[in-house]
Amino acid sequence: MKTGGRAKFHFDNVYEEMNRKVGPYIIYQIGDLYCEPGYRVPNHRQLVHEISYIVSGSGVFITNGTETEVSKGMLYLNRIGEDHEIRSSENEPLRYFYLGFVFDSKASLNETLSKQKALFDDPKNRMAYDGTGIQDLFMKMFTELLTLDTFTEVMLEAYLTQILVKTYRAFSQKKYRTYKVNERDTDQNRVYDIVHYIDTQAENIQNLAQLSRIFGYSYTHIAQKFYTVTGEHLRSYYFKRRFEKAKEYILKGHSITATAEMIGYKSIHAFSRAFHGFVGMTPTDFRKWAEENMEKDA
């Protein structure tokens, strides 16, 4: 993949001879690209299948002349033989993870591989909104590529398989963005779906107002029903889940800066203030507290 302009940083791993075999897959390229404003990836022909996960920012992905606006949390697929280019936003530069691969023609074709191949054979499968868990799996793969020990190949196959399974599920299962409630659904069922969506998408929700588009009701109606059923304000629940996710990332060893970005904060100072307000201590103090308590338990 050739690029034009500048990137803030680019963690790129290319295997041009296609000799990076991982289980029933062969990796061509995997990496993390953080764009400068207006950054462009010039038009190029896809040699392999490619999965892109939008970590932050926004921009336009263009495939065979068709433009698609992308933003945080989205998955985008390209296939062998397609023409593809990318334009990053001037105001909110893109950061995205990408994985270029092919299926190993020598691998035994089981049900799992058959379904994965079917996903990439159908050009209608272009974009999905639910990339839950994929960002963390990409980061684990990057860590393994830097570790390179006896178990690296085993772990790479495990993470790559999970990325492809989650991608398959994101495209094959019912999407929340098309969710409609019928007359027989109770308020409890409606609120349960909202709770489930927030629980799984907390770090991808940029504005609670977008729940109106997803669930087909005004924000005021959703907030009122949520409070009636749960006794808790919707905004309070959302922020609680968001910072629970932040604590999970910190406990997994991610930096404070990376954690802030992963849950949607552009300023580490704003994240630290908000974290302190909800958790009762700064992210740094929370990490120290957690490490001290783990040492005591050990």
User: pLDDT tens across 72-97, in order?
Assistant: 888 999 999 999 999 999 888 888 99
pLDDT band at 59, cuts 50/70/90?
very high
Assess if residue 145 is contained within a domain.
yes
Is residue 80 located within the same domain as residue 137? yes
For the segment 246-259, the average pLDDT, to the nearest whole number, is: 88
Per the domain annotation, does 206 fall within a domain? yes
Same domain as 168, residue 26? yes
Six-digit token string for 3: 């690029």
- Please check whether residues 144 and 13 belong to one and the same domain: yes
Residue 1 lies in a domain: no
Domain membership of residue 133 (yes or no) is: yes
**Same domain flag for 218 and 285:** yes
> Residue 145 is part of a domain; what is its CATH number?
2.60.120.10
Of the candidates 172, 201, 236, which is a domain's last residue?
172
- CA distances, 77 to each of 10, 51, 129, 147 (Å): 20, 5, 12, 28
Compare 3 and 178 and report the one with higher pLDDT: 3
153 and 223 assigned to the same domain: no
- For residue 118, report the phi and psi dihedrals to the nearest 5 degrees: -60, -35
Instruction: Pick the last residue of a domain from 136, 152, 172.
Output: 172
Structurally, the chain folds into a number of domains equal to 2
Pair 154, 289 in one domain: no
The tens digit of pLDDT for each residue in 114-169 reads 989 999 988 888 988 767 678 888 988 888 888 888 888 999 999 999 999 999 98
Domain check: are 186 and 231 in the same one? yes
Q: Say if 144 falls within a structural domain.
A: yes
Give the model confidence (pLDDT) of 168-226 as tens digits.
988 876 444 434 444 445 677 778 788 888 887 777 787 888 888 788 888 898 999 88
Confidence tier at 12 by pLDDT (50, 70, 90): confident
Domain assignment of residue 2, yes or no: no
Q: Are residues 280 and 193 in the same domain?
A: yes
pTM of the predicted model as reported, rounded to 2 decimal places: 0.62
Domain span at residue 129 reads 7-172
Is-contact 11 34, C-beta < 8 A? no
Considering 123, 153, 172, which residue would you say is the last residue of a domain?
172
**Does any domain span residue 107?**
yes
Condensed to tens digits (0 to 9), the pLDDT of residues 264-286 reads: 888 889 999 989 988 888 999 99
Same domain flag for 142 and 159: yes
Q: Is a pLDDT exceeding 70 seen at residue 5?
A: no
CATH number at residue 199: 1.10.10.60
Residues 187, 44 within the same domain: no
224 and 162 within one domain: no
Determine, yes or no, domain membership for 269: yes
Same domain? 160 vs 201: no
